[in-house]
Amino acid sequence: MTWRELSAERFNSIKAKVIVDVRSPCEFVSEFIPGAVNIPLLSDDERAEVGKVYKEQGEFRARRLALGIVAPRIPEIVDRIIASKKENHTLVVHCWRGGMRSEAVVSFLSLMGVDCWRLTGGYKAWRRCVMDDFEADSYPFRVVVLDGLTGVGKTEVLKELEAIGMDVLDLEAIANHRGSIFGGIGLAEQPTQKNFDGYLWERLRTFSGDFVFVEAESRKIGSVRLPEFLMERIKDRSGIRILLESSLSCRVERISRDYHLLDHKEALLDLLGRVRIFKERLGHEKIKGLSDALQENRGEDFIESMLRDYYDPLYSRHIRRRTDYDLTVCSDDPVASAAAIKEWCLDRADSAALIKPDNKTAPR
């Protein structure tokens, strides 16, 4: 049985597949196809050594070294790939650009009678498809943007909308960051930009409804950037925008519950002392008061002060400048808010233009 080539376009059309990435671990961590498993031919150190020999002694010597390293463990590599197979799934092997590494592995598998494909052009070709899709922006859905002050529960409402069957794009979940200066507190490391793009692309392909709900985001979420087409959709004034409002007490309680700030006092104190914008906007006395609140375990006082003195003045100007919100909903109860939003959208789904209603405020 011989292996076959598979273009990136055909690869993307196959839903049931097992993806084996044979690059070194450090390559895989920095950029991978979502769902791929890493079964490397060479370790990071071995790859570096082969690269050094290639530069200093030429291609033949480098290939000879790589062969000597890989040959003894070919059976183990083949066994691991066979173990990763799933019934009725297409087995696809790739490296960075469809070169020697993936060709060697599919050749081993073919000798063992294993049906497999090699991704033509490797990860590089797949990445090009992702970027081309972002550039084309041919996604048929309309974006519904949830806006509001810090702590109004935009993420909670998104989760409730998803729970009642609506298409939701939770960008902060994909980015593993809550979007503010404090957004990484208590969370694991963010994905790389390329991996964020990959997860986002994969999520966008799952949507089938008329609307996709998303939170109003800035261009960057922590260290990752939104693609230009999505940023334009979020900013588009002809799109659908919903303003969430919530009482200060609910916002404080929600942030306290979600962030567990007192478990991360040292990181917070470091940010307060290091981030220049806090000093410029708040001044020495307020910074001291915030630090004292943390030191004295008055977490809710810290949150309320940050909302009143920093976040609300910052974002209120943005909200006041917009006069085109299609709907305003109280989000103290995220379940009720999601239900009201869903009803409002479905009531207007028959209109291709989604004409704005006369009464823009949902019952509270």
Residue 138, CB-side half-sphere exposure with 13 Å CA sphere? 5
Q: Is residue 363 part of a domain?
A: no
Q: Is residue 146 part of a domain?
A: yes
- One domain for residues 109 and 144: no
The predicted structure's pLDDT at residue 143:
94
C-beta neighbour count of 197 within 10 angstroms: 21
Cα end-to-end span (Å), the chain: 66
Asked if residues 268 and 182 have their Cβ atoms less than 8 Å apart, the reply is: yes
C-beta neighbour count of 57 within 10 angstroms: 12
State the CATH number of the domain containing residue 315. Answer: 3.40.50
pLDDT in tens, the chain (364 residues): 679 999 999 999 999 999 999 999 999 999 999 999 999 999 999 999 999 999 999 999 999 999 999 999 999 999 999 999 999 999 999 999 998 899 999 999 999 999 999 999 999 999 999 999 999 999 999 999 999 999 999 999 999 999 999 999 999 999 999 988 888 888 899 999 999 999 999 999 999 888 999 999 999 999 999 999 999 999 987 789 999 999 999 999 999 888 887 788 787 777 777 666 787 888 888 888 888 888 888 889 989 999 999 999 988 888 888 777 999 999 999 999 999 999 999 887 655 444 444 444 443 3
CA distances to 243, 269, 271 from 279, in Å? 30, 13, 11
Q: How many domains in the chain?
A: 2
> Choosing from 26, 95, 250, 345, which is the catalytic residue?
95
- One domain for residues 113 and 174: no
State the CATH number of the domain containing residue 41. Answer: 3.40.250.10
Q: Is residue 69 part of a domain?
A: yes
| Rg of the chain on CA atoms, in Å | 25
Q: Is 95 a catalytic residue?
A: yes
Domain boundary among 130, 152, 175: 130
The pair of three-digit structure tokens given for residue 192, joined into one six-digit string: 């790389």
Question: What residues make up the domain containing 269?
Answer: 137-347
Instruction: Report d(CA 45, CA 26) in Å as an integer.
Output: 10
Residue 84 C-alpha from the chain's centroid: 26
Q: Is residue 361 part of a domain?
A: no
Instruction: Report d(CA 196, CA 292) in Å as an integer.
Output: 37
- One domain for residues 267 and 339: yes
Q: Is residue 356 part of a domain?
A: no
Asked if residues 246 and 153 have their Cβ atoms less than 8 Å apart, the reply is: yes
The predicted structure's pLDDT at residue 275:
62
